[in-house]
């Protein structure tokens, strides 16, 4: 009888520890993992800070970073119910507008060493979503549009 109790406790502890060690999926469940890995490449690691519940109830920012050695995607969401003008700061490589007249967002592209970053800003209701695509090369054609797709997917999670 004692051996059976020990076995049950060991199995419960092992199951609990295995659940604690589960890695965060690409995009942290905020955006489609396939969309994320199309930009980062296979087998990215992901870290998440905050939750949709905390964002919606307390206004706590939400952040997910997914990446590999050569590329990463950083998603940040803040509550910002007031109107937000387009950024006026200088953007080294220039601002581009991703999307269509109905669904768009400004994106800044910046050289950083041999690589570059595309930073897209997007509004979804009372939230501002920032998606940064960083890469070790400058093959960033389409990154602004992919960042907009990711921002739309995140916005869908907030509605």
Give per-residue pLDDT as tens, 112-158.
888 899 999 998 889 999 999 999 988 888 899 999 999 999 999 88
Structure tokens at 17: 């520890």
pLDDT for res 2: 46
Q: What is the pTM of this model?
A: 0.81
Side-chain half-sphere CA neighbours of 146 within 13 A: 22
Q: Sheet holding 71-79: strands in order across?
A: 45-49, 62-67, 71-79, 127-135, 115-124, 104-112, 95-99
Q: Domains (ranges, CATH) in the chain?
A: 2-158 (3.40.1000)
58 burial via Cβ count (<10 Å: 0-12, 13-18, 19+): exposed
Bigger pLDDT: 20 or 111? Answer: 111
Given a contact cutoff of 8 angstroms between Cβ atoms, the answer to whether 128 and 119 are in contact is no
Pairwise CA distance, residues 88 & 73, whole Å: 23
């Amino acid at each position: 009888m004692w051996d059976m109790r020990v076995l049950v406790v060991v199995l419960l502890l092992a199951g609990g520890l295995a659940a604690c060690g589960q890695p965060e999926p690409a995009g942290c469940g905020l955006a489609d993992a396939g969309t994320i890995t199309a930009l980062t490449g296979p087998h990215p690691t992901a870290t998440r800070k905050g939750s949709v519940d905390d964002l919606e109830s307390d206004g706590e920012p939400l952040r997910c970073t997914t990446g590999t050695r050569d590329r990463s995607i950083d998603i940040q969401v803040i509550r910002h119910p007031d109107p937000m003008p387009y950024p006026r700061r200088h953007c080294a490589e220039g601002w581009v507008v991703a999307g269509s007249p109905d669904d768009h967002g400004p994106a800044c592209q910046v050289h950083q060493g041999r690589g570059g970053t595309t930073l897209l800003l997007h509004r979804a209701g009372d939230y501002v979503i920032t998606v940064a695509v960083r890469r070790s090369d400058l093959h960033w054609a389409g990154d602004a549009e992919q960042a907009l797709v990711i921002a739309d997917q995140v916005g869908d999670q907030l509605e």
